[in-house]
């Protein structure tokens, strides 16, 4: 069985948080689809490592974002801000046929969330809230992101796709 083609050849896609975890997996799949990928992150050293790992050649561009604070800040507020930013920028760029969408995953098995999923007690509590009975893997989030970048999503903009194994459905 062959790999599904999303028709992303030469399409330009910006992936934030792409130095590791979900963003890195999304960038990897986009490059495999011949998309032109711009990766962004807070730390130049993380982006340099991602650039080395991805080996995207001319299809990859990595410039780090500024570091806002020595700590991560209030994560929930940041996520809400990203959803609103997605809607606002989508409205601004829609006349130019530019689609802006986001994904909102539940807990994903990444290095950032390792303190939670590696602790059996916490993991069990989290999994109880997810009808599919497990946390997500990076590819579980990256595949829907590919769809949002594809021609199949040409009339979808300003949306945040929840990828949570049904957690918000209950």
**170 residues of the chain, pLDDT tens digit each:** 467 888 999 888 888 888 889 999 999 999 999 999 988 887 878 888 888 889 888 778 777 443 333 344 455 667 778 889 999 999 999 999 999 999 988 889 998 889 889 999 989 988 998 999 999 999 999 999 999 999 999 999 999 999 999 988 87
Is the CATH code 3.40.50.720 the one for domain 12-169? yes
Q: Bridge partners of 108? A: 136
Q: In this predicted structure, what is the pLDDT of residue 72?
A: 41
Burial of 27 (0-12, 13-18, 19+ CB in 10 A): buried
- pTM beyond 0.85: the answer is no
Starting at the earlier edge strand, list the strands of the sheet with 60-61.
Answer: 12-15, 36-39, 60-61
Positions marked catalytic? 75
Which of 158, 145, 156, 147 has its CA nearest to residue 15?
A: 145
Tokens of residue 43, six digits: 């730390």
Q: Bridge partners of 38? A: 14, 61
Enumerate the domain spans of the chain: 12-169
Which of 61, 57, 48, 58 has its CA nearest to residue 19?
A: 48
């Amino acid at each position: 069985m062959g790999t599904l083609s999303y028709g992303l050849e030469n399409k330009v896609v910006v992936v934030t948080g792409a130095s590791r975890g979900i963003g890195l997996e999304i960038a990897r799949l986009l490059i495999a689809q011949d998309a032109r990928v711009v990766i962004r992150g807070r730390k130049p050293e993380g982006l340099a490592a991602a650039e080395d790992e991805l080996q995207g050649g001319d299809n990859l561009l990595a410039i780090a974002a500024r570091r806002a604070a020595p700590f991560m800040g209030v994560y929930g507020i940041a996520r809400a801000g990203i959803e609103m930013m997605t809607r606002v920028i989508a409205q601004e760029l829609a006349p130019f046929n530019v689609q802006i969408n986001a994904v909102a995953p539940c807990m994903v098995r990444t290095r950032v969330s390792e303190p939670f999923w590696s602790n059996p007690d916490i993991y069990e509590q989290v999994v109880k809230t997810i009808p599919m009975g497990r946390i997500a893997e990076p590819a579980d989030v990256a595949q829907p992101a590919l769809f949002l970048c594809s021609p199949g999503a040409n009339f979808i903009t300003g949306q945040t796709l929840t990828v949570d194994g049904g957690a918000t459905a209950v």
